Amino acid sequence: MFGRRRGYRRGYGGGGGGLGMVLLAMQLLHLFQFLSNSNDYYPVTLGVLGLNLLAFFQPGRSWPSIHQACISVRGAWFNREWKRIFLASFYHSSDFHLYYNMASFVWKAISLESYYGSGYFMYMVAVFSVATNLLYIAINYALAEVMDQWSYINSCAVGFSGVLFALKVVTTHIQPAGMTRVMGFIPVPMRIACWVELVLISVLFPHVSFIGHLAGILIGFAFVYGPLQTIMNIPLSLLTDFVPSHTAGGGTQYADGHSYTYRSGTTGRRGAEQQQRNHPPPQPSARPYHSYTYAAGPLGRGDGEGSEEAELQEAIRRSLSTDSSGESRRTEERENGTQSTVDEGLREERTP
C-alpha cells in the first residue's frame, strides 16, 4: 500500500518505464503455464488479478482517477466519499507497484483458494479489503488526535499490499510452525515474519504506507485469533451452500479447526473433498527455510526471485499428482528429512 502524509505521491520514484509491465507479463506466462497443467482454474485468484489490472489500465472513460480512489480520513470520512473504501485496494501507483503486489498475491492466492475453496476465499478477500481500509482510516484519525499532527488526515494511500499482509497472517497461521526467509535471506520464525517485513519495508522504503500494512496485519490477526472469522461465518450459517462438517478429513479445513464442504457446482469447481483427495493444493517443497518475498514495493533483485521458478515447478509437479494415498508426498518428506504435521493443509508458499 502506497501512501504519504501530505497528499498522494506517485510511484516508487516513477512509473518504472514499463519494466514492471514486462515483469508482470512474465509472471502471467508462469501462471498460464501452471494453469495449463492443472485441473483447476482458481476463478477468484484470476478474478482479483483481473480487477487490479482493469483498475490500472482503466479501459473506457468511466473509471475514477487514482486521486479519487485513494483512501484517506479526509476523503472517506470527512467528505463522505465512501467509494474510496472499496476502490483503494485495487488501485496502484505505478507498474512496479502493481507487479510486486500481484506477483505476491497470485501464488499465495492459489494455495489459499485451494485450501478454503473459491467461495470462502472470495468472501475473505472482499472483507479484508474493506476492513483494512476502515482500520487505516481509524488509525490515522486516532494518530491525528493524539499527536496533533493533522497531516495524518490528508494521508492518502492505494494498493493491495494491506490485504496481502492480512493474507500472510492467515497463511502462516495455517502452516506448521517453522522458519522462513524475509526478503529471501533473513531467517526468522514464520509466526513473526510479517512483523519483521513490516519494519524492514518501512525502513527501506519510507514512502510506503506503514499504517496501511499495519492495518492489514491487525485484520489478519483479528481473523485468526479474534472475532472477525466468527463474525464472517455468521451469515454463512444461513446459507445452504456451506455445509458444516466437523470430521477430521472432510471438507475444507478452516483456521479455527472447523471445516466446511462446498457443494459441487457452487463455485464452478469440484467439491473441496474431491479436490483434496484427488488433487492436492499446489505447494512448494518442504524445506526448513523458504523465500519470503514481495509486499508493497520493490525489494530488489534477489529477494526470492531465484526461488520463484523452483517453487513454481514444484507447484506444477504437485498439481499433476493424483495419488490419493499421499504415498509420494510421504516419500518426498522422508527424502528431505522432514515430516508433515498437517495432511491436507497449506505448506509454505512464497513464490511471488
Q: Calculate mean pLDDT across residues 282-305.
A: 32
4-18, 186-200, 216-230: which has the highest mean pLDDT? 216-230
Flag whether pLDDT at 204 surpasses 70: yes
The number of helix segments (H) and strand segments (E) in the chain equals 14, 8
What's residue 120's pLDDT?
A: 94
Place domain 2-336 in its CATH homologous superfamily. Rhomboid-like (1.20.1540.10)
Using pLDDT thresholds of 50, 70 and 90, give the confidence band for residue 239. confident
Of 73-77, 193-197, 335-339, the one with minimum mean pLDDT is 335-339
Of 154-158, 239-243, 314-318, 346-350, the one with minimum mean pLDDT is 346-350
Q: Is 15 exposed, middle or buried (0-12, 13-18, 19+ CB in 10 A)?
A: middle
Tell me the one-letter amino acid at 152.
Answer: Y
* pLDDT tens-digit map of 42-82: 999 999 999 999 999 988 888 999 999 999 999 999 999 99
Percent of the chain with pLDDT over 90: 37
Q: Per DSSP, which regions of the chain are E strands?
A: 2-4, 156-158, 179-182, 186-189, 242-245, 252-253, 259-262, 291-292
What's residue 241's pLDDT?
A: 54
- The structural domains of the chain, with segments of one domain joined by +, span 2-336
Q: Calculate mean pLDDT across residues 282-300.
A: 31
Distance, in Å, from the CA atom of 332 to the CA atom of 262, rounded to the nearest integer, reads: 30
In what side-by-side order are the strands of the sheet with 291-292? 186-189, 179-182, 291-292
CA angle, residues 132, 133, 137, in degrees to nearest 5: 115
Average pLDDT, the chain: 71
Distance, in Å, from the CA atom of 115 to the CA atom of 123, rounded to the nearest integer, reads: 14
Tell me the one-letter amino acid at 219.
Answer: I
pTM, full prediction: 0.66
* Rounded-to-10 torsion of CA 93, 96, 98, 104: -140
H or E segment at 197?
Answer: helix 193-204
What's residue 206's pLDDT?
A: 81
Using pLDDT thresholds of 50, 70 and 90, give the confidence band for residue 290. very low
What's residue 1's pLDDT?
A: 67
Catalytic residue annotation: 161, 213
Cell of 103: 506477483
Q: What is the CA 131 to chain-centroid distance, rounded?
A: 14
Of 38-42, 191-195, 260-264, 332-336, the one with minimum mean pLDDT is 260-264
**Sign of the CA dihedral running 352, 161, 90, 259:** positive
343 or 95: whose pLDDT is higher? Answer: 95
